[in-house]
Structure 1
Amino acid sequence: MEFFKEILTIIVGILIALYINNWNEDRKDAKYINKIFVSMDKELKESNDDIKKKMPQQQTLIDTLGFYKKNDSISIFDVMMKVNGVQIPQIRISSWKAISSSKIELLEYERVSALANIEEQKELLLSKTQYLMNFLYPNIKDTSFDKKELIMFMMKDIMVTERDLQKEIEMAIQD
């Protein structure tokens, strides 16, 4: 009987230690998640602000290309110089990348889904921007109507992606 009391005391001690350890881990995880959320919200707000800042500049590029597209004495380079080049927003998602590679299980599904959508939209924006740049550089001295119009189309397509990204960001910030 004495043996069972000692065993029971040891088992209760182990269970208490496990409970305290789990409680401490949960507390640390909650603190970590709170810091990540603060950081994510800050990054998303900065990204959203950058989109809002760059879209009028992009519209100016489209309008300027439209104004000069029939003028074969004005090159794409000339237009780019008039509007200070192509302005693309910077989308910041470092906090999401950090948690998605380590403790993603701590986030609720809706938050994971929203942030994954933002990451996909960011990749799509990068892809479209890269495609535009790959087209621009070899054609920078071109003065043709068709190429100016194609750049306008690509910029409009980039802006559609930015608007979609902006909607995703605004929904994620509200959560």
Structure 2
Amino acid sequence: MRYKFATEKRAAKYLRYAVGEILLVVIGILIALQVNNWNEQRKIQQDIDNTKRALEEELENNISSITNLLMSGYELSDLLKEFRENRTLKDVKYGQGSFYDKFGIFDTYVRELEVENLDALIAHEKSLSHYDKALLPIARNVRRTIAMRKVWETKATELSLDRFREFADELPWYYDTDSISNSKRDYYIQNNPNFRNKAIHYLNFQLNENVFYASGVRSGSLILLWKLQQKKSTNDGFSTFLLEKGLVPFKKINCDSLTQMKPEFIGFRNVFIIHNPSSHDVILNKFDGQNNINRKLKLNANSERMLFMDENEYIQLGDSCQTVFSPVRNGFLLLDNY
């Protein structure tokens, strides 16, 4: 056709036809590129969806593993308390094998946590939806806490091995299990100040570093898992979700009864979840063991956050005392009906 227009010297039609051909080619290329882009975006979104599903399972596994470690921590804190007060040491039940009876307190309590899908979600940052991008600060915090716990777990393992080597070098009967060796072991544990000091030091180190960071991993992982499941969840809310995971609400105490409050013995510092399901913001004051405010915080309506708490600390709702909350083992703070 272009040849016909050219031979007939119909230049205007020739140019219009040529431009039309070029436009059709360009439009075809653009359509092909757009289709290719749609396919690529669909593949990326499918990869993100698969990553999120795998991450839910990964978090479930980590939460279960960390919960077992925390149960070991609560038992160790009870053993430490009794050992300090009465110089008696019970066998470890939750430990990994309770190495040589009461020397099981020096076990390392190693937990390998999965991070592959957590890292994958973070790597997808530029392709995430607005809702999923809001999960990244939580995901990054969980990842950092896992890394920090690994550092302290390694340090605790090194200290544990040092202690086992020291005892093996010092005590010729250390690896023996006959009745005479067992009697020597019991006498050594109850009467040797060197063992006592090393045991107290190791347990404090294990509880307030390795197990402490584990509590942070669990709290962050629970929040992230809830956010991932929230759109498809059929339960009544975050507090129900936490209850289903085995967590327990803090003790609620009237302000008039504050002087009679007997805090539950926890045994080590913890990172707890605070949940405000109400439609308004709340002000919280955190008190230390001497009844002094050491932190004031605001919790927005319908939100949750994590809070580090030491032994014997408690939470007061409002500047003028409305209610006091005392932490418990495996606890979380639920601010309902306020």
- The structure with the larger Rg is 2
Of structures 1 and 2, the one scoring higher in RCO (CA 8 A, sep 6+) is 1
Query: CA shift at 1:155, angstroms?
Result: 1.0
CA contact (8 A) 2:58 2:117 kept: no
Q: Report whether the alignment pairs 1:163 with 2:212.
A: yes
Are residues 116 and 173 of structure 1, via their aligned partners in 2, closer, same or farther at CA, if it must alter by over 3 Å?
A: same
Query: CA shift at 1:111, angstroms?
Result: 0.8
**Aligned match of 1:51 in 69, 75, 78?**
69
CA contact (8 A) 2:63 2:222 kept: yes
In 1, the alpha carbon distance for the partners of 2:153 and 2:32 equals 56
In 2, the alpha carbon distance for the partners of 1:170 and 1:88 equals 22
**Aligned match of 1:91 in 101, 111, 122?**
111
Q: Which runs of 5+ in 2 are unaligned?
A: 1-19, 90-98, 126-135, 172-187, 225-338
Q: Which amino acid aligns with 2:207?
A: M
In 2, the alpha carbon distance for the partners of 1:135 and 1:49 equals 26
Aligned identity (percent) is: 6
Q: Which runs of 5+ in 1 are unaligned?
A: 70-79
The TM-score with structure 2 as length reference comes to 0.42
Query: CA shift at 1:32, angstroms?
Result: 1.9
**Aligned match of 1:139 in 144, 160, 167?**
167
Q: 3-state DSSP class of the match of 1:83?
A: helix
Q: 3-state DSSP class of the match of 1:85?
A: helix
**Could you say what the CA RMSD is over the residues aligned between the two structures, in angstroms?**
2.8
CA contact (8 A) 1:43 1:92 kept: no
CA contact (8 A) 2:146 2:217 kept: yes
Q: Report whether the alignment pairs 1:148 with 2:196.
A: yes
**Aligned residue pairs: how many?**
162
More helix by share: 1
More strand by share: 2
CA contact (8 A) 1:50 1:90 kept: no
